A and B are shown apart, each in its own frame.
Chain A
Amino acid sequence: MQPTFSSSRILLPVRPWFIYSSLIVALLLNFLPTSNWFGVPDWVALVLCFWSVREFRRVGMGWAFILGLLMDVADGAVLGQHCFAYVLLAYFSTSLSRRLLWFPLFQQALQVLPLLLMTQLIQLLMRLAVGADFPGWSFFVGPFIASLLWIPATFILLLPQYRPVEQNPDRPI
């Protein structure tokens, strides 16, 4: 697989442990005490979306469900709130994956934005339906920042898969 459609470089196969450790790091980033900062993105949603676009055979709705359950307990939210949103996010990003990778990075970020907004909106609707208060429009700033972070996240998360540019003809891989 290539980084984008215009790239002539072919990526190495991904290592499973890298996927799982990146998801755990995202979870740790979410646990940092940043809850009352302005516009902090949902790291788990971003990384989950990235891997379900890139490697939907390895990361899918099952992982989304488990991560959602962990986030629900860590947040003190109602169980099932993040699960539902993340499962839908994983499903839609998997179904978009064929199309998404045909765009350059910035346009990919534009296509990811509605997915991340949907994740927040689903959580908001679930809580509003059972009598919570609207937490303010800053709740929706996170996805915008997260979709901007799609570009650096692509570079960082694909880093172990790049081959060296000068290749030794004696060692083709």
Chain B
Amino acid sequence: MAGIDHAPPPFFKRGPAPLALLTFYVLISLAVFVVDLRFRGLDLLRQSIALLVDPVQRVAQTPGSLVDYAANYLQGMQLLQRENDELRHAKLTTAPNLLRLEQLEAENERLRKLLVVNERENAKGQVAQILYTARDPFSRKVIVDKGQQSGIVAGQPAIDEAGVVGQVTRVFPFSSEITLITDKDQAVPVQIVRTGQRSVVFGLGNGQLELRYMPANADVQVGDVLVTSGLDSVYLQGFPVARVVNVERDSAYSFARIFAAPIAGVENFGEVMILDPRQPLPPPPPAAQGRSSDGSDQAGLRPKKKRAAKGN
């Protein structure tokens, strides 16, 4: 009788049925997909896996970077000398402006103090080397060699010598991911230099940018330079972002289609400067007593606008 309540010994160990396993793994992957995309709740998991993957990935990048390095090395003196000459020339041409910059900044600060206006923020940051582009064909991102160890936090803007490159979106222990301004999900609040008009420029995913929601009769011309407007508390004011390359006005639509090309070498490799996060904005002024009674709709609109600007 002792043997009856025992199951017969398994002759072939097979584990769970394949269909059950499939259901299990599919459900887990879909759950992970949704949680990562919608709730951003898996950053810790991603960071810990990145800690494993990152060294391997850097090793895999070495052959390519060695070839680049050798090519650079072999290009020789002549190129270097020419580049040196060009740089010296460029330095000389910008010298009149640069030499007076310090004095102008001091003067600006003094005048601002006289006017009781807040001081301008200084742009400080740290230089980071672009390691490689992320392989994901659906987005435009690069990985740089500074991470949590260097005090990088998500949201910091990245620039190069010409203009805005992108924004740090994910931080790993020893590296971080910069989403380029040409990514489809990236938006930068800008201002047109010529007219002072504010807008938001969106990446298109194909290397270009689009200035959306501008009326069909908006004063935008080919060649206009867009600089950051500084309204988002992410980017400092005045960094060049893009130059308008094409304006399509169709009276059938209420908006003009305005395309722009990035000014910075967004698709280049090299070094970028990751700017420190901006100081938090001063608290909004308390609503005036008299206006709160008649302008209630305006008061309701204000926080909404601010949230929209921060979301970008």
B interface SS class: helix
Interface pair B30/A80, CB less than 8 Å apart: yes
Q: Mark A122-159, 1 if CB is under 8 A from B, else 0.
A: 00001100111101000100000000000000000000
| A68 interface residue (CB < 8 Å to B) | yes
Tell whether, in the assembled complex, residue A76 and residue B18 are in contact, meaning their CB atoms are under 8 Å apart.
Answer: no
Q: Which residue of A lies closest to B47 (CB)?
A: A73
List residues 12-33 of chain A with CB under 8 A from any CB of chain B.
27-28, 30-33
Interface residue B87 (Cβ < 8 Å from any Cβ of A): no
User: Are B184 and A133 touching (Cβ within 8 A)?
Assistant: yes
Query: Is B22 a contact of A76 with CB atoms below 8 Å?
Result: no
**A69 contacts B37, CB within 8 Å?**
no
- State which residues 19-38 of B face A: CB under 8 Å: 21-22, 25-26, 28-37
Inter-chain contact B46/A31, CB cutoff 8 Å: no
**In the complex, are the beta carbons of B56 and A83 less than 8 A apart?**
no
- A65→B16 CA distance, assembly (Å): 16
- CB pair B139–A132 under 8 Å, yes or no, is yes
Q: Are A81 and B33 neighbours in the complex by a CB distance under 8 Å?
A: yes
Residue on B nearest A135 in the bound complex, by CB = B137
A139 touches B137 (CB 8 A): yes
* A162 contacts chain B at the CB level, 8 A cutoff: no
Give per-residue flags for B40-51: 1 if the beta carbon is below 8 A from chain A beta carbons, else 0. 001001100110
Closest CB of chain A to B304's CB: distance in Å?
23
A126 to B21, CA, bound (A): 21
Closest partner residue, chain B, to A92 (CB atom):
B22
Interface size class of B (residues with CB under 8 A): 35 or more
A32 vs B50: C-alpha distance when bound (angstroms): 16
B60 at the interface (CB under 8 A from A): yes
B138 at interface by CB-CB < 8 Å: yes
Q: Which residues of B contact A36 (CB under 8 A)?
A: 133
Which of chain A's residues has its CB closest to B267's CB? A36
From A83, A88, A91, A132, contact of B32 by CB (8 A):
A83
Q: Does B60 lie within 8 Å of A32, measured CB to CB? A: yes
Known: A69-B49, A80-B36, A130-B37. A75 touches B136 (CB 8 A): yes
The verdict on A79 contacting chain B, using a C-beta distance below 8 Å, is yes
Does A95 reach chain B (CB closer than 8 Å)? yes
**Residues A132 and B49 in contact, CB atoms below 8 Å apart:** no
Cβ contact within 8 Å between B60 and A79 = no
Q: Give the interface of B toward A (CB within 8 A).
A: 18, 21-22, 25-26, 28-37, 42, 45-46, 49-50, 52-53, 56-57, 59-61, 63-64, 132-139, 141, 143, 170, 177, 184-185, 205-206
Partner-B contacts on A (CB < 8 A): 27-28, 30-33, 35-36, 60-62, 64-65, 68-70, 73-81, 83-84, 87-88, 91, 94-95, 126-127, 130-133, 135, 139
Closest 8 pairs (CB-CB, A-B) = A80-B33, A76-B134, A31-B60, A80-B32, A83-B29, A84-B29, A132-B138, A79-B36
